[in-house]
């Protein structure tokens, strides 16, 4: 009798245990089946310390979305909206928490980089040297003596971008910051006609500004994000050209006594261009002047102006020089992912192409 009761209790416990396991499995399956609710993105007015008036001031200053606020500094928000420094920090932190601006895996970054496009030139040698063309989201610096082809490459990139316009959801635009009065619409027209493009269409999608001083140059670079975030007519900025990067800085900062100040301003200017390249997913092309290094007794004494500041900020650095029979040589001297190499190309009325 006792034996039978013991067996019945064991069977009952086994059934209870089995029932609990089945319930647990169902709960796990239900959790797997139920999709996670997408995290609701905050509006600017939902941010702590931001009312309608403050939100309006932020939008007028170009802070039209959370990402623009998240990457801003507290002083920029204080200047734009008039809030206190503590409130500005809370606003920025709230944006960063909502956007989950933390670390990601290498796999996620690789997937993200698939959206990076490249502007191809008519020279397959240059395209091969740069693994397909000039890369978006980065700064490409070309330096060389006068007549080496720096400005011609800039003009050619303007036309080449318009030739690739079908790959974008919105019409692409070019921002051209001219510091040496080298931009020529006639040259753009000539290159566009050679590629079978409408010159008026190409020119209408290039926004040109002449920089009068180094401060004006830096201000123009900061205004690019305002153009891209304009609430009424935002521009799909896909190419930014600065020709040339250091011309105004060399004129205004003379002697060793001003070197530190010059480098600080140049560094800030380059970081603004880096932000534009990243947020707009745009190609940033800067040309740069050169100088002769007096301590080089053998080999080419030519080096770019700007020192290590420019070198660290540039993702790709290309040294241009004149070759034989009117040709030009582009030498890739620095890149995070590509080996050093050279490409020979020609410059004529049609633009840039292989020999």
Q: Which of 343, 339, 335 is nearest to 138 (CA)?
A: 335
Q: Longest C-alpha distance within the chain, in Å?
A: 112
% of the chain exceeding 70 in pLDDT: 87
For residue 284, the 8-state DSSP code is: E
How many CB atoms within 10 Å of residue 158?
24
Show the tokens assigned to 194. 């050679």
In DSSP terms, which residues pair with 304 in a beta bridge?
Answer: 290
- 0.85 exceeded by pTM: no
Number of H helices, E strands in the chain: 14, 13
Q: Are strands 290-292 and 283-288 parallel, antiparallel or unpaired?
A: unpaired
Would you call 147 helix, strand, or coil by DSSP? coil
Q: Is the pLDDT of residue 50 over 50?
A: yes
List % helix, strand, coil for the chain (3-state, nearest 5).
50, 20, 30
So what's the pLDDT on residue 162?
A: 97
Question: Has residue 180 got a pLDDT over 50?
Answer: yes
Q: Looking at the predicted structure, is the pLDDT value of residue 72 above 50?
A: yes
* Fold that domain 16-102 belongs to in CATH: DNA polymerase; domain 1 (1.10.150)
Lookup result for tokens 């049609």: 350
Distance CA 340, CA 262 (A): 30
Mean pLDDT score across all residues of the chain: 88
Residues near 110 by beta carbon (within 8 Å), at least 6 away in sequence: none
Superfamily of 111-353 according to CATH: P-loop containing nucleotide triphosphate hydrolases (3.40.50.300)
Tokens read off for 94: 């709230």
Chain centre to alpha carbon of residue 333: 21
pLDDT digits (tens, 9 = 90+) for 293-312: 776 666 677 889 998 999 99
- Per-residue model confidence as pLDDT tens digits over 226-237: 899 887 889 999
Q: What is the pLDDT of residue 36?
A: 46
| Backbone phi, psi, residue 302, to 5° | -75, 135
Q: In percent, how much of the chain has pLDDT > 90?
A: 64
Strands (E), the chain: 118-119, 134-135, 138-143, 172-178, 206-210, 236-243, 283-288, 290-292, 302-304, 316-322, 327-335, 341-348, 351-353
List the domain boundaries for the chain. Answer: 16-102, 111-353
- C-alpha separations of 205 from 156, 165, 198 in Å: 14, 11, 11
CB 265 within 8 A of CB 246: no
């Amino acid at each position: 009798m006792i034996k039978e009761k013991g067996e019945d209790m064991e069977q009952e416990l086994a059934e209870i245990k089995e029932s609990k396991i089945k319930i647990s499995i169902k709960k796990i399956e239900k959790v797997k089946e139920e999709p996670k609710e997408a995290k609701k993105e905050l509006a600017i007015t939902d941010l702590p310390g931001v009312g309608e008036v403050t939100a309006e001031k932020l939008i007028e200053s170009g802070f039209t979305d959370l990402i623009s606020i998240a990457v801003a500094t507290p002083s920029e928000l204080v200047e734009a909206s008039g809030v206190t420094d503590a409130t500005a920090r809370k606003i920025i932190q709230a944006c960063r928490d909502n956007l989950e601006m933390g670390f990601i895996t290498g796999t996620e970054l690789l997937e993200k980089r698939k959206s990076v496009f490249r502007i191809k030139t008519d020279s397959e040698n240059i395209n091969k040297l740069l693994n397909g063309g000039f890369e978006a989201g980065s700064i490409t610096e070309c330096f060389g003596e006068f007549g080496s082809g720096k400005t011609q490459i800039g003009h050619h990139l303007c036309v080449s971008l318009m030739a690739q316009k079908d790959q974008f959801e919105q019409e692409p635009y070019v921002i051209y910051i001219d510091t040496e009065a080298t931009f020529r619409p006639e040259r753009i027209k000539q290159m566009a006609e050679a590629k079978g493009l409408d010159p008026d269409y190409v020119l209408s999608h290039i926004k040109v500004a002449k920089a009068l001083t180094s401060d004006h140059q830096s201000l123009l670079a900061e205004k690019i994000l305002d153009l891209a975030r304009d609430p009424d007519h935002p521009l799909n900025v896909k190419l930014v050209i600065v020709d040339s990067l250091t011309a105004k800085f060399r004129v205004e900062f003379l002697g060793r006594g001003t070197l530190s100040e010059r480098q600080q301003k140049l560094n800030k200017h380059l970081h603004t261009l880096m932000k534009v390249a990243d947020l707009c997913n745009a190609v940033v092309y800067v040309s740069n002047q050169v100088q002769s290094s007096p301590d080089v007794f053998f080999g080419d004494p030519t080096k770019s102006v700007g020192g290590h500041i420019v070198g660290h900020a540039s993702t790709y650095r290309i040294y241009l020089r004149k070759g034989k029979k009117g040709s030009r040589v582009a030498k890739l001297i620095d890149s995070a992912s590509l080996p050093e190499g050279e490409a020979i190309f020609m410059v004529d009325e049609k633009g840039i192409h292989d020999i």
